[in-house]
Chains A and B, each alone.
Chain A
Amino acid sequence: MTDLEDRLTAVLYRVTCPDTIELGEYRLGITSESQESGPRKAFIEQHLLGCPYCSRELAQLDSFMAQVQSDLDYTPVERVKIWIARRVPDLTAGVGSSTPAFAFRGSDGEDDPGQSLVFEAGDAQLMIEIQDDVEGAGRKSLVGLIIGIDPEGLSAQLWLDGQPVATANIDDLGNFTFSNLGSGHHELILSGPDVEIHVQKLLT
């Protein structure tokens, strides 16, 4: 091959080929047709007739997708009921109930420190109190009770900044406790086989 031919090959090699994403989108049937790009689907179809490399790459894509397709085969089922707990007024407030040092606060508004929190979530009701943790200075404990649904199989998880930080079992009567908690924006998630309750934007 002459020097000029070498140079032309170096500069022009596959210059007309669509990029790999465009080729893949063509195969997935989502080729974009904008005024700027013109009728790309027709262009790619025409290009494939004369480009063995792009044809080979599409065949490799088909083969690969067939191989990994089973990873995506599923029958979607709306299996779990998700309830986002909503704050309700504490009907026991002001009748001499316990006075915790501070409370987690629901997202519905400002609360007085020391107030018990009551939430409603589907058929369930949830009572939460925060107390000083006797085991650690400056740390807190959370005591909760869930009623209205069968607590069997339920577990409680506290999340902070997108990560789970503590897990607690829920007893037969619906009681659960977290201890040695630091401060921060927490979310409480109660999970069971067919129901899940989210108490969002709890603040300490």
Chain B
Amino acid sequence: MPGPADHQLLTLSGLRHRCAVESDRFFSRQEHDPRYCFELFRRAINNHDQQAWQIIYDQYGPLVSGWVERHSLFPAAEEETQYFVNRAFEKMWAAITPAKFENFPNLKSVLSYLQMCVHSVLVDYVRNREQATAMAQEDLSRIPDDGAANVERRVSQRAESEELWLWLDERLKNEKERRVVYGAFVLAMKPRELYAQFPETFNGVNEVYRVKENVMARLRRDDGLKKLFTTGSFDAGENPHTSVYDDRGEG
């Protein structure tokens, strides 16, 4: 006589049925068994099973919608709930590999990760808006928003920004200069805010001003930086890494 069935032996239909039944019980505050919903996640991630993903999306979409709408950043966002729901699931699909899935012992841990993905997409939205504000100081016409290609462009820009940061870092003489450049340009802080952030580094806000002026004066004289912002690339001799912003054309 066969023993109790291993939930891993159920078909996707069987899992969908049980996951729905158990979820209904959970939301009506009844005892429930989470193993079937967890098995759906396991198959989706470890077996790259698209049908399992679709079942998960159908089953958990309404729950994720509720999480989006309860997030403190959502009311100020100018996108519909569904936009963030879709991005959150996409984040999860992309982020959890079979190897990483070994960190998830149960359904609760997987759903906690999905909650984190909801937060992640809302913060991404805010970060992108802040980045756009910073870029508005620049000539945005050189950075067309062309859908899918824009994703690649963002990745490329990120790499180029990191390259510039390393290039600048090599030209800073001490920790105070490093803190000033980091605070002023990476954190976009005013000198007073910068001093408040790093009070142990400076002897007052006036010192922040003075260090910043010295660094800026030196950077303005730097041929490599001049070339970067006029032609879009460093001198070959200045920087072994080919170029920064090659695709941005003439400045």
Contacts and interface: CB of A to CB of B under 8 A. Distances in A.
Given A24-B120, A164-B17, A74 B34 contact: yes
- Of A8, A60, A86, A200, chain B has the most CB atoms within 10 Å of the CB of A8
Given A77-B32, A83-B5, A201-B11, A71 B63 contact: yes
Contacts of A30: 100, 103
Nearest to A121: B2
Interface residues of B, number: 76
B197 A24 contact: no
A162 B229 contact: no
A178 interface: no
B13 A187 contact: yes
Interface in B181-222: 182, 184-188, 197-198, 216, 219-220
A6 B117 contact: no
Interface string B208-242: 00000000100110000100010000000000000
Interface in A39-81: 50-53, 57, 60-61, 63-65, 67-68, 71-72, 74-81
Contacts of A52: 187, 197
Contacts of B165: 12, 15-16
Contacts, number: 192
Identify whether the interface residues of B are mostly helix, strand, loop, or mixed: helix
Nearest to B9: A84
Looking at chain A's contact residues, the main secondary structure is mixed
A4 B33 contact: no
Contact of B134 (A4, A13, A24): A13
Contacts of A9: 134, 137, 184-185, 188
B164 A28 contact: no
B17 A77 contact: no
Contacts of B33: 76-80
Contacts of B107: 76
Residue with the greatest number of chain B CB neighbours at <10 A, chosen from A1, A27, A78, A162: A162
Size bracket of the A interface: 35 or more
Interface of B: 1-2, 4-5, 7, 9-14, 16-18, 21, 26, 31-35, 51, 55, 63, 66-67, 70-73, 91, 95, 100, 103, 106-108, 111-113, 115-121, 123-124, 127, 130-131, 134-135, 137-138, 158, 160-162, 164-165, 168, 182, 184-188, 197-198, 216, 219-220, 225, 229
24 contacts: A1-B137, A8-B185, A9-B184, A9-B185, A12-B185, A12-B186, A13-B188, A14-B186, A16-B165, A20-B124, A21-B120, A25-B116, A28-B116, A60-B123, A61-B116, A61-B123, A65-B115, A72-B112, A76-B34, A76-B106, A82-B4, A82-B7, A83-B2, A83-B4
The 7 closest A-B pairs by CB, nearest first: A24-B116, A6-B137, A20-B120, A159-B13, A77-B31, A10-B138, A82-B5
